[in-house]
Structure formats: C-alpha cells, structure tokens
Amino acid sequence: MPGRVLPTFTSADVKSHNTAKSCYITLGSNVYDVTDFLDAHPGGGDLILEYAGQDVTDILKDEISHEHTDAAYEILEEYRIGLVSNVSTPGKTTTTTTTTVIETETATENESGPVYAATGMSREEDMSIDTDFNQDFKTHKFLDLNKPLLMQLWYSNFSKEFYLEQIHRPRHYRGGESAPLFGNFLEPLSKTAWYVVPSIWLPCVAYGITVGATGLGSATAAASYFTGGVCLWTLIEYLMHRFLFHIDHWLPDNRVGLTLHFLLHGIHHYLPMDKYRLVMPPTLFVVLAAPFWKLAHAVFFYNWYAAASVFCGGVFGYICYDLTHYFLHHRNLPSCYKDLKKYHLAHHFADYENGFGVTSRFWDQVFGTELVSPTPKGVKAHAGNQGKIPLIHPIIR
C-alpha cells in the first residue's frame, strides 16, 4: 500500500492542546485533533475535555464508563493528524529528530454487522460515517450519491417497498456536505440554514400577537390564546410527523408519490446529518400552515383576534420544534436535553416507525409509539406497541 507522511508530536506538544479551542488526544501512538468534534460528541464535549492532552486508550475500552464500538473508532480516525514521536509501535518507523513518520496504511473492516436490520445502523455515530458512494450504489442499486438525486428518483422504477427500505438506511455525504439534489442553478433553493426559520417567522409571530392583543383589548387574553396555540402545536407536531411525514403505508406506489415523499421527509431519513435539508423551507411551511390558518378561524369563529393569537402560538411552537430538531442533530445540548437527543436519534438509526415526538415524547406515550431502548440484531421495527424495542447496548456517549 502507498505510504503517507505524517507529522510527529512530542508528548509535551500534545499536553499543551488541552482547551476547547485546541483539543488533542492520543490513542496509542496516534494523535487526534478533536476540537471540531467537541460539539458533535453525543455525550457532550466536556467528556472529551476531561482527557484533553491525554491518552484515551483505557477510557475508550472501559466497560463501566462506556465501551466504544468500531464505529466510534472510525469517526476518531477522521481526526488523526500525526503520531507521538516517543511512542513506538510495530510496523511504524518513528523518530524524535525528524518531523515526519512514514506509516503503512492498513484497511480495517467492522465485521460485527448491523444491529438494526431495518436501518443497517448500530448506533447514532454510524450516521456520521462517510458513505462510500460507489460501494453503496453497487451494493444497494438505489441512488448514486455522485449524481443529483431528484432526477434519479423521478426516472427510476423503484417499488414503494424498495424505496422505503432504502431511504430508512441512513447515508452520510462526504465531509458533512449536502448531497446534490438538482445539480443546477436550483441547488441553493433546496437548502435552508437553521437561522432562516427564526429570522423570518419570529417577527411575524411578534406582529401577530401584537395585533391580537390590541384587538382583544387584553394582553392576558392574548397570552392565554397564544399559550393554547403552543400546546396545540405539540399535538400537531406528533400527528404530522406520524401521519404525513411517515405516510409510508398509504404512500402511492408511483414515482410522483415517491418523489414527493422524498422531498417532504424521505431525504431527511436518507441523509439525516445534512445540515441544510433539516429545517423546513419557508415556502413549504407556508403551504402546510395555510390550512391551519383556516382551521383556527373556523374553530374560533367568534373572534378573529383570538384565532390569530392561537395561530401565532402554533407558529411559535413550530419555530421551537424546528430549532430543537436541528440542535438535536448538530449541537451539544445541556444535560436536560441529552435524553431527548438520544431519543430522537434512535428514531433514525433504530426504529423509524416509532418515536414521532421531537420536542417531547408525551404524545408517543399517549398513543403507544414510545421508543424503548435497542433491539436484538436483525429485528426490524414495527408500528405501535409492537415496535417497542429493548436496547442491547446503551447509546454511545
């Protein structure tokens, strides 16, 4: 195999990089710069910072703390930057007087197989491992990630059963970038940054509640209707996620149905860590929100301002939902949100037919679709109570 040149670091060099701004760790003779991984670590960056500048071999294998899988080691490999100059290992030539090490590359393969047959995933980290585009296409004969996705799907002859099987097997685009959807000038229109949501809709909510309070003649009354709208949103969130975004069983078995499903929610399960295809584009939100504007005025027909205040509460609930959803995927969150993060990511890598609540698991508990921790190997997910799955491993920290 071809060799590659790696820089070497002294132990003192490594130990000096022990802050959130520059965090190095070692695993045997390898040095890793994990600064950019701190926010993405499922257990939080603080757990890594406890070992900043130190060797993590023992803690990674510690079953009491949490033994890590092969997937975790694969992710760590992406952050390798060099070798420790005063540590020698077989097969590697190191020196303390030069700045490079010549190392023979070796390929490793995880032979343990997937835990969840329905998704091909074992743990949440698996969703962040770059997919081998050519191998994936050769193996599954689904979408070629080297090419724009939309037209591939439109001109395909995939059956609904095959399509649903494949989009629920998460892929990860190289380097965390977005896969091409259109492949032309329309491409930027297919991406939405998370901050677009509050930037557009919070001013609208503020204006709406101000109008509502003025029309009702009471800030207290407007706040009550607004709060009611927020509470109603939690139910709408659950129902839309379960019966619209996961319309799987009632999905038409034709290219129009499959393509619309892919654009609405399928692409998020296919590429769950795509930062720019996670929150809802403003145009789509307007289309989905319009019926609820009509519904609010039909229910609260006796007072236009009451209906407007309830609707604004619902929109505010949506904003909180979309931001929460994004942060669950892409940010290190306070301890009170860590269980929610694990719960939602399990919806992606373990059982996509349960766990529909994003901001809360309350309605999952009410309707019997609550996710319970992992399934034995090879067991597929099923809807309702039958889909509850016992975890054979804790989700990695």
Confidence category of residue 133, pLDDT binned at 50, 70, 90: very high
Please give the CATH architecture assigned to the domain spanning 3-92.
Roll (3.10)
Q: Is the pTM of this model over 0.85?
A: no
Domain boundaries, the chain: 3-92, 124-176, 188-387
pLDDT in tens, 278-330: 999 999 999 999 999 999 999 999 999 999 999 999 999 999 999 999 999 99
pLDDT value at position 64? Answer: 62
**Quick one: average pLDDT of 354-374?**
91
pLDDT in tens, 341-356: 999 999 999 999 999 9
Q: Is the pLDDT of residue 89 over 50?
A: no
Q: Is the pLDDT of residue 384 over 50?
A: no
CA-based angle 252:255:259, to the nearest 5?
A: 90
Known binding-site residues for Zn(2+) equal 241, 246, 265, 268-269, 325, 329, 344, 347-348
Between CA 347 and CA 238 the distance in angstroms is 13
Confidence category of residue 171, pLDDT binned at 50, 70, 90: very high
pLDDT in tens, 184-201: 999 999 999 999 999 999
Q: Is the pLDDT of residue 28 over 50?
A: yes
Known binding-site residues equal 41, 68, 241, 246, 265, 268-269, 325, 329, 344, 347-348
Known binding-site residues for heme equal 41, 68
Between CA 287 and CA 374 the distance in angstroms is 37
* Weakest mean pLDDT among 12-16, 211-215, 293-297: 12-16
Which tokens in the block code for residue 143?
A: 């979408």
What are the two backbone dihedrals, phi and then psi, of residue 16, each rounded to the nearest 5 degrees? -75, -15
Between CA 205 and CA 1 the distance in angstroms is 60
Q: How far is CA 289 from CA 326, 351, 355, in A?
A: 20, 28, 23
